[in-house]
Chains A and B, each alone.
Chain A
């Protein structure tokens, strides 16, 4: 492909402009991040506006913009709807965030909760699953960034990917969670306005009835109500989303960072803000059929269609939206995953007597190291790594019920909980390879649910909720 939708100059200009904006804004916000609570949790007093925006922007990943159009083109109307069910993860996490605040007022990570609730074995199991998932997510986003930038403007993959990663690492180091949440707000406004603008301009140039007729003629299956794979994936996607949100420290650290009175509302609102985005983006994917845009690489469905209808302006919009959605998730993952490594691995496993000042410094090195490891993986550009993200679906889904029941129920047998997580993961992986990806997370959650219920009945261990106050 030699004809790019944007000239490399425009591409570099946009890349440089936004990198400088994020880094300087992060630097500015970083003045607040003096102590450990400031750096890791933005002072634990984040309000409703910033709280909802950061949760929503983090959940808008490169996949929401890139995968939703592909999903709609593959699975039709149900595909669009199935993707948006991931917003339920945020809805149900809203009441959980409130509970987390009450139970563990001084917590830092999701690992804190698992360790105190279930003991070391479950905690290590949890850390492994969480790290596999987080790294796969981080690497897939870095790779997606490089690929999209190259496809749109011809900027070399390695350069585009490196600039995105480095700018996120730099502002996260300067400003900690303050910088992450502050930039997330601007990024979410850009994403929301961008999605609406593209949708409105596209609708101005076409009309829904002619789109509908064309699809009805060309690919009627996509409009069917009984679309088996899409219907099965409906709950599967939802439970993948539950697994991702309920376990990952990205969300727990947000819950700790928000003011107690705000946490529940903020997550609920972020779900509402997120819900329509995959549908609006998915609609662009379905347009490929109506506008006869030939899709050679399905992963590029969204950008290709938008740019072919809207020309260079459309390509600029896509470029900026993708950059914002990537940055808003990469920064969050860097911050939250480095917190997990700092708190759970370094402080709890290696050096328990460490002071908060040292820990604050150590956290910076961890962010740097995490960025470097991600960069190496992205540089190698192993396409199989994207697969790892989907494979982690059943792994994280096996954690849903152990986490939720652990938050609310006093009596659970700790050993049987380990069985729930392990067998849920294994059955889910088996289903992934033997029945199809669209069954894996649901199967894992179902097995883990059944065994978690058993663990509540067979000689359960009792937890004293006061233990969490000592964290």
Chain B
């Protein structure tokens, strides 16, 4: 049986991971735009 800790890690981890991903993409967009490296 998976313990509740594993389930919590999976759920919170996936949400935190997705949130971090969003921030990363937006930061990269800012950087690439500033450096004129988008395309």
Contact = CB atoms under 8 A, between A and B. Distances in A.
A355 interface: no
Interface of A: 32, 42-43, 45-50, 52-53, 56, 77, 80-81, 178, 185, 188-189, 192-193, 195-196, 199-200, 203, 208-209, 211-212, 216, 220, 223-225, 259, 269, 272-273, 275-277, 279-280, 283
B36 to A, nearest CB: 9
Contacts of A212: 4, 7
Interface in B1-39: 1-2, 4, 6-8, 10-11, 13-15, 17-19, 21-22, 24-26, 28-29, 31-32, 37-39
Contact of A49 (B4, B11, B19, B29): B29
Contacts, number: 103
B25 A192 contact: yes
Contacts of A81: 10
A272 B21 contact: yes
B10 to A, nearest CB: 6
B7 A77 contact: yes
A42 B39 contact: yes
Given A276-B18, A283-B14, A49 B39 contact: no
B37 to A, nearest CB: 4
Nearest to B37: A47
| B contact patch SS | helix
Contacts of A273: 18, 21, 24-25
Given A52-B28, A223-B1, A277 B37 contact: no
A120 to B, nearest CB: 35
B29 A279 contact: no
Which of B15, B19, B24 has the largest number of chain A CB atoms within 10 A? B15
Given A42-B39, A192-B25, 11 more contacts: A48-B37, A49-B31, A49-B38, A52-B28, A189-B22, A192-B18, A196-B18, A196-B19, A223-B1, A280-B14, A283-B11
Interface of B: 1-2, 4, 6-8, 10-11, 13-15, 17-19, 21-22, 24-26, 28-29, 31-32, 37-39
A195 B14 CA distance: 10
Contacts of A196: 15, 18-19, 22
Contacts of A45: 39
9 contacts: A49-B29, A49-B32, A50-B39, A77-B7, A178-B39, A185-B29, A196-B22, A199-B18, A223-B1
A192 B22 contact: yes
A39 B30 CA distance: 25
A203 B11 contact: yes
Given A276-B15, A276-B18, A279-B11, A189 B26 contact: yes
Contacts of A208: 4, 7-8, 11
B18 to A, nearest CB: 5
Contact of A77 (B10, B17, B18, B24): B10
A46 B15 contact: no
A276 B17 contact: yes
Contacts of B38: 46-47, 49-50
A49 B25 contact: yes
A208 B18 CA distance: 18
Contact of A192 (B4, B7, B21): B21
B8 A52 contact: no
B1 A224 contact: yes
